[in-house]
Amino acid sequence: MGDRLTQLQDAVDQLAQQFVACVHYINRHHNLETMNATDQIRDVKQEPGQEEGKSIPVSSNFFISNQSFILRILTRRMQTVDPHPEDVFKAAQVELAQDLITKEQQIELLISLLPGLDNSEQDQERNIKELEEELKVAEAQRQEAIKEKEDTMAKLDAVIRSIRRP
């Protein structure tokens, strides 16, 4: 695990990816419904290189001018809509929303753990000084342990040299 800022950045990146995944799912699996009485759901004719049996439903609002040109662009760039049953689609929407809320709460928690939000400048300086003192004590203990190790190694070396083989 990285520091808190790295964790926060990773969480924000994951939230953005979840947003994209949600939009993709909804765009791909929505029910084919018209928005008003003049809209129509059309089956798009297949281009020669496309698979048979797959059509792209497109609202008539997309056709402003030069319908065949727009139709070719849409057939190349849009994926087909694969509507899920309404109960499955609604359950998936609820699950996606819960995932987004959970990730947002994780981000809020990470933000609340960042230093300086609840501490004054004097508190932060005091904490830094305490940490510096702890670091000095730990360094002194480390130096003492190094010296003890060197003494023990010298004694062990002396014992090994004093032993003679038969």
Q: Is the confidence at residue 78, as pLDDT, over 70?
A: no
Query: In this predicted model, what pLDDT tens digit does every residue of 98-122 receive, in sequence order?
Result: 999 999 999 999 988 887 656 677 8
User: What is the pTM for the complete model shown?
Assistant: 0.50
Q: How many domains does the chain have?
A: 2
Q: Which one of 102, 118, 134 terminates a domain? A: 118
Same domain membership, residue 52 and residue 111: yes
Q: Distances in Å between the alpha carbon of 47 and those of 32, 54, 56, 58, 153?
A: 22, 11, 11, 15, 81
How far is C-alpha 154 from the chain's CA centre? 54
Range of the domain at 74: 4-118
